[in-house]
Amino acid sequence: PEDTDLLLVAHPKGLSDDLLYEIDQFILRGGHALILVDPWCESDRPPSDPNDPMAQFTAERSSSLGRLFDACGLALADGVFLGDPGTALTLQAGERRQPMAHLWYQELGPDNFDRDDVVTQSLPSIVLSTPGHLTLAEGAAVRLLPLVSTTGEAGEISTSALQFMPDPQRILAEFVPDAGVSPIAARVQGKVQSA
């Protein structure tokens, strides 16, 4: 509608070219958009198929705005999420129900937020699962202003580690902190061409 103030795009998958064009044009006209993309959406489960019981484990659970992101040089790293021992939730796991860090669940607090931005300045904490790794291509047409960031202990973990009964101990043992402080939510600003 012409009087739209804010466009909310949540977990976009399989959008038509016409709808992508409408989103593109809304943003290019100066419209504000809140875009939520996910490398591994736990709640995006296909209906069970008795002929293929494994389908729910191998179904695509990521989302993106593809060409729109490409046009401005913004990317959600494909097939990975950011684990962070510095903010990981400790939950009971294993046969003995031992407390263990679950790197895919993050509880972020004031140290992870931009306290100068109106969106995050009064947040006490948030809990996220499998936060995506936002990156900018070299020469990107936009700036990425982090709103929520990981600690310096973050690293990429393949979403495939969560497909079949994730093992927090194995994920922790194989973890490599190679991403440093990375934005997982950001304000994107700049002038771009239509995708």
- Mean pLDDT in residue range 69-89: 91
Cα(139)–Cα(78) distance, rounded to whole angstroms? Answer: 20
pLDDT at 57: 67
Q: What would the mean pLDDT of 23-43 be, rounded to a whole number?
A: 90
Q: Which pTM was predicted?
A: 0.86
- In this structure, how many other beta carbons lie within 10 angstroms of the beta carbon of residue 81? 26
DSSP 139: T
Residue 18's SS3 state is helix
133-170 pLDDT, tens digit per residue, is 988 988 888 999 999 999 999 999 999 898 878 899 99
